[in-house]
Structure formats: structure tokens, C-alpha cells
Amino acid sequence: TEDQAPAQIRSIIDRYPIVLFMKGTRQAPQCGFSDATVALLDQLQVDYECIDCLDEERNPGLREAIKVFSEWPTIPQLYVGSEFIGGADICRDMAEAGELQDVIEK
């Protein structure tokens, strides 16, 4: 439920060192921004967890709840070490500057 969503999100980001909340799955992203962010993370050859915000059966209400949780209006959203890093544009800019790898390797 909506009341449980923040606790569920916190549990997920605390459980996995790197989490990408995205539209679709790692194998089949459902938007260009999610696809681009998966590609960035794959290039870094890091292990990360993907959570499909469109899967209402497994993640009811998550698509809107994650936006409220992070105070960020778009998906995908990347979390590293339980901290919100950013969306697709921020991840791309950080990757181009070499900063994304630095954050992930901490």
C-alpha cells in the first residue's frame, strides 16, 4: 500500500549496494532513459539490482511512490550506498566526467 511504500523502498535501497528503479527490466527496458542508464551501469561492469516500477503486480504503487520518496519527478532513479544519485541525465553526465565510477567504487 501507499503507506508501506517508503519503508519498502528504504528496505530495497538498504539491501542492495546499487539499485536502479526503472521502467521495465534490465533485459527489456521500457523507455529510452532506462535503457541508457542500464547501458551506463553495464559499461562499468558492476553488479546492480533493477526494480521494475511498471510491474504493478510485484511493485504496486511504486511508480509514483519512488518519485515522492526521492523528491525526483522522473524514472529511472539510481541509488548507490542507500543514497539517491540521480536520473538518466545526471548519471550520463557523471559517467562522462568519470564521477559515476568514483561514486560506485566507494
Annotated binding site: 31
Contacts of 56 (CB under 8 A, 6+ apart): 63
* Residues 13-25 pLDDT 10s: 999 999 999 999 9
* Residues 45-99 pLDDT 10s: 999 999 999 999 999 999 999 999 999 999 999 999 999 999 999 999 999 999 9
Neighbours of 28 (CB within 10 A): 10
Sequence spans of domains, the chain: 5-105
CATH fold of the domain at 5-105: Glutaredoxin (3.40.30)
Annotated binding site for [2Fe-2S] cluster: 31
